[in-house]
Structure 1
Amino acid sequence: MKISRTSAQGLKQEFNVVVPSSDMDTRIHERLTVIGKKVKMAGFRPGMIPTTILKQRYGPDATQDAVEAVIRTAVSQISKENNLRQAAQPKVSIEAFDEGKDLEVKIEFEVLPTIELKGFDKIKLEKLVVDIPAVEVTKKIDEIVTNHKKFQPLAKARAAKDDDLIHLDVQATVDGKAFKGFDKHMHVIVGSEEKLLSGALEAAVKGVKAGDSLEVTEKFSEDFGNKAVAGKDLKLELTVTKIEEPAKVELNDELAKEFGCESVDDFKKRVQEALEREYTNLSRMRLKRHLLDALNSDYSFDLPEAMVENEFNAIWSRLRQELEEARRNGTLEEDDNRSEDELKKEYREISERRVRLGLIISEVAREKKIKVEDVEIRQAIFQEAMRYPNQTKEVFAFFQKNPQAVEQIAAPILEDKVVDFILTEVKLAEKKVSPEQLIEAIRGVVPGFEAEDETTEKAPAKKTSKGKTSKAKGE
């Protein structure tokens, strides 16, 4: 095998690989021999099939296997001898090959750029520290207590009204057959925003009395998950077994224990700590964004085209899916007059930023020997599994079978560890602010806190609850 470098421009390197025909004949023959030991053919004992017959039947397969083996060997050898850090899978093209002739292959590599890290102590950042007033804590406590609904038997028999809890016995049928995917006993809060399908049930129970029977028909959507009932009517035969009214909830030691606290004082302390964590997290998200902005400005180097293209395709595909979904649901707000070319240009710039920052973070991790520990990955997978309590085994199995999924879940952990490291070296000035000042400071910076005038911002589009694309600055 003869390997020669034919081109080296920027991050791209091209190599030519030539394998003599005699070498290829040997490789193909060896492959046919392996195949001959495994296959069964009438009239021949295993391993005794003539090479000519094997070549007639399995020649193309043996040739392809031999060529692929040569390519794998060449890629490995080139990478090792030239110390190449590949940015993506190399492009391989067979330039010439035929029976009795040399195999000639062109292999194009795109490598990672060389990044010379600078001192992070030149970066100046401001860390906002929230001073939470007592009235804010009291307001949060009142909110929690108010939303902690409790119910008690009716003081006097009456018809159900808003906020009452209705207990129901249910018989559900579809096309006259019992529908097993529905609870036999359920309860509904009159006037609740939580709706079952069309919301007909919630409307029907208003004004009922204990012992009443009623019949409600709901309709499954055409795209309902269970295809057997999609688009069909769900008939509910209901009996009101009990009506309860809201009970007055007061903050006392008994209520505190329902939240896992020892006393009212313990409850208040935990609410205070929860608020502090919430504001600290928002402040850190702002700080991280400003750090990434600084890194993006400080570093300039060639970016691997393949990485940028893959990132852009992923972003663009996701955006198109979100827009299409919003159009189907009738929730798209056409508030962006930019052409597709203008949008593509914007998202390509976003892709370049993400790739650049990703390479910087990877280089910091490599040079400073920062890595994600196995225990951190296991914890992240566990937390992901807890999001699907009825499918935990399937989630764990998915990660066991998909190393790429494990890499994806480890990536944000590594990013945060690198960010934490860099923040220990930058010049950090603390500034005390009120909760309102923090919220104002993170508008247009932290996702979910959009700028007052979104239409003037240019940044990644994210679908809002209304289905439109918003221009959050955060990355």
Structure 2
Amino acid sequence: MQISQLQVNGLKQEYKVIVPAKDIEKKVEERLQAIGKNVRLPGFRPGKTPFNILKQRYGGQALEEALNHTVNSSVGQIIKDNSLRQATQPNVSIVTFDEGKDLELKVDVEVLPEIQVKDFSKISLEKLKVEITDAEITKKIDELLAGHKKYQELTKERAAKKGDMLHLDVSVEVAGKPFAGFGKQMQVVLGAEEKLLFGNIESALEGAKLHGKVDVDDQFPDDFGDKKLAGQPVKFHFTITKIEEPIKFKLDEAFVKEMGCETVDDLKNRIKESLDKEYSNLARLRLKRHLLDNLSDVYKFDLPETLVKNEFEGIWKRLQDELAHAKEQGTLEPEDDRPEEELRQEYQGIAERRVRLGLVISEVSRLNKINVSEEEIRQAIFQEAMRYPRQMKEVFEFYRKNPQAVDHLAAPILEDKVVDFILAGASLKEKKVSTDQLIELIRGVVPGFEEETSDKPKAKKPKAAAKSKTAKAKGAE
């Protein structure tokens, strides 16, 4: 086998491989001999089939296998001899090949760029330290008291009012005919944010008494999910079987026990810990984003075109799906209703940024031997399976059969470990802030906290871009 480099163009390298015809013939003969050991043909014992018959019947298969082996060997030899770190799978094409003649291959390899990791101590960032006040803890307790809903039967007979839970027997007529599509019993909290009833039903039920009957004429919305019912007249017949009123809780021993705590101070400490964790996570997201901005600005090198192309195509497909859905729902933001070329240019830049940061993170992890352990991967798979409690077995089986899916789970874990490693060596200046100050400082930086204008929140970008990730790192926009 003769290998020669034809040209180098940036990260792309082109090689020519010449494989003598006799080497191909030898590989074909070896494959035929291997096939002959196991093949069973009428009139011949296993392993005793004449070579010319094997060649006649299995010559094409043997040649294909020999060529595949030769291609893989030549690519492996090129990678080994030149100490290449390939960005993607090499592209191999056959230039010339005829039976009895030498095989000529052209191998195109795109390699990873050389990245000189810089001194992390030169990175200067602001680290926010959030101070939780007693007033915020009190506010959280008030929210818990307001949101802790339990109901009891009326202690004194009265008409139903907002906040009450009504237990109802229900019968329904659609277009004058009995309809069995609704349950015979239901519960509804009058005035609740989550509406279980539509139209004017709740207002009709308000003021009803125990065992009272309420009839309501209404109409299914035109956009109702069941097209057969959309726009149809409907009549509801309700009988109130029970009225319950909300129990009003106060900050006492009983409520503290309900919250799983021993004392009021214990509850306050747990709330403080929870708020500390919540706001510290937000502050870390801001710190991480600024770190990634810094790395993106500092590290400049050629990017493998194939990686950028693949990343862009992934982002672009998700973006198009979300834009199409937004148009269908009538929720398309003005910022996204732009010419395609303008959007392509913007998301091309996002793709390049993500690939660049992914390569930097990968190089830092390689040089410093930062890895994701098997235990961390198992824990990530378990947490993913916990999201689907009724399908946990199927989730575990999916990840067992799909190593690439496991890589996607491992990528954000590796990224966070590398980010922590870099931050440990960076120069961090701590700044104490209130929770309100933190929220203002993360606007436009942390997803979900968009910048505000004087009159209304700034239009959000489609989520597709924010969720896309490279094979090495996520959240690198």
Question: Can you list the C-alpha shifts for 1:265-296, whole angstroms capped at 9, x where unaligned?
Answer: 11111111111111111111111111111111
- 8 Å contact from structure 2 (residues 214, 237) kept in 1: yes
Residues 25-424 of structure 1: matches in 2 within 5 Å? Answer: 25-41=25-41, 45-158=45-158, 160-167=160-167, 187-195=187-195, 199=198, 206-207=205-206, 241-336=241-336, 338-424=338-424
CA distance in 1, matches of 2:445, 2:395: 33
Question: Can you list the C-alpha shifts for 1:88-114, whole angstroms capped at 9, x where unaligned?
Answer: 111111111222222221111111111
Q: Closer, same or farther in 2 for the Cα pair 1:190/1:389, shift >3 Å? A: farther
What SS does the corresponding residue of 1:444 show, helix, strand or coil?
Answer: coil
Aligned equivalent of 2:431: 431
- 8 Å contact from structure 1 (residues 167, 240) kept in 2: yes
What SS does the corresponding residue of 2:188 show, helix, strand or coil?
Answer: strand
CA distance in 2, matches of 1:259, 1:155: 26
Q: One-letter code of the match for 2:438?
A: L
- 8 Å contact from structure 1 (residues 165, 243) kept in 2: yes
- 8 Å contact from structure 2 (residues 130, 438) kept in 1: yes
- 8 Å contact from structure 1 (residues 162, 206) kept in 2: no
CA distance in 2, matches of 1:218, 1:458: 35
CA distance in 2, matches of 1:304, 1:380: 30
Using the TM superposition, give the Cα deviation of residue 331 of structure 1 relative to its aligned residue in structure 2, in angstroms.
2.0
CA distance in 2, matches of 1:142, 1:104: 78
Q: Closer, same or farther in 2 for the Cα pair 1:22/1:441, shift >3 Å? A: same
Question: Can you list the C-alpha shifts for 1:150-178, whole angstroms capped at 9, x where unaligned?
Answer: 11112344554433223467899xxx999
Q: One-letter code of the match for 1:163?
A: G
- 8 Å contact from structure 1 (residues 190, 202) kept in 2: no
What SS does the corresponding residue of 1:17 show, helix, strand or coil?
Answer: strand
CA distance in 1, matches of 2:399, 2:64: 32
Q: Is 1:22 paired with 2:22?
A: yes
Q: TM-score, with normalisation over the residues of structure 1? A: 0.84
CA distance in 1, matches of 2:404, 2:210: 56
Aligned equivalent of 1:469: none
- 8 Å contact from structure 1 (residues 217, 233) kept in 2: no
What SS does the corresponding residue of 2:135 show, helix, strand or coil?
Answer: helix
Q: One-letter code of the match for 2:143?
A: E
CA distance in 2, matches of 1:170, 1:57: 76
- 8 Å contact from structure 1 (residues 32, 62) kept in 2: yes
Q: Which runs of 5+ in 2 are unaligned?
A: 173-177, 465-474
Question: Can you list the C-alpha shifts for 1:171-226, whole angstroms capped at 9, x where unaligned?
Answer: 99xxx9999xx999764333434356x8579759935665569899989x99x8xx
What SS does the corresponding residue of 1:461 show, helix, strand or coil?
Answer: coil
CA distance in 2, matches of 1:279, 1:35: 66
- 8 Å contact from structure 1 (residues 160, 205) kept in 2: no
CA distance in 2, matches of 1:454, 1:315: 31
Q: Closer, same or farther in 2 for the Cα pair 1:83/1:443, shift >3 Å? A: same
- 8 Å contact from structure 1 (residues 150, 249) kept in 2: no
CA distance in 2, matches of 1:53, 1:238: 85
Using the TM superposition, give the Cα deviation of residue 45 of structure 1 relative to its aligned residue in structure 2, in angstroms.
4.8
Using the TM superposition, give the Cα deviation of residue 310 of structure 1 relative to its aligned residue in structure 2, in angstroms.
1.0
- 8 Å contact from structure 1 (residues 131, 435) kept in 2: yes
Q: Closer, same or farther in 2 for the Cα pair 1:306/1:210, shift >3 Å? A: farther
- 8 Å contact from structure 1 (residues 188, 202) kept in 2: no
Question: Can you list the C-alpha shifts for 1:117-137, whole angstroms capped at 9, x where unaligned?
Answer: 111111111111122222122
Aligned equivalent of 1:450: 450
Q: Which runs of 5+ in 1 are unaligned?
A: 225-229, 465-472
- 8 Å contact from structure 1 (residues 126, 430) kept in 2: yes
More displaced 10-residue stretch of structure 1: 182-191 or 266-275 = 182-191
Q: One-letter code of the match for 1:387?
A: R
Q: One-letter code of the match for 2:424?
A: T
Q: TM-score, with normalisation over the residues of structure 2? A: 0.84
- 8 Å contact from structure 2 (residues 357, 476) kept in 1: no
Aligned equivalent of 2:175: none
Question: Can you list the C-alpha shifts for 1:383-434, whole angstroms capped at 9, x where unaligned?
Answer: 2111112111111111111111111111111111111111111111111112
What SS does the corresponding residue of 2:81 show, helix, strand or coil?
Answer: helix
- 8 Å contact from structure 2 (residues 333, 460) kept in 1: no
Q: Closer, same or farther in 2 for the Cα pair 1:105/1:155, shift >3 Å? A: same
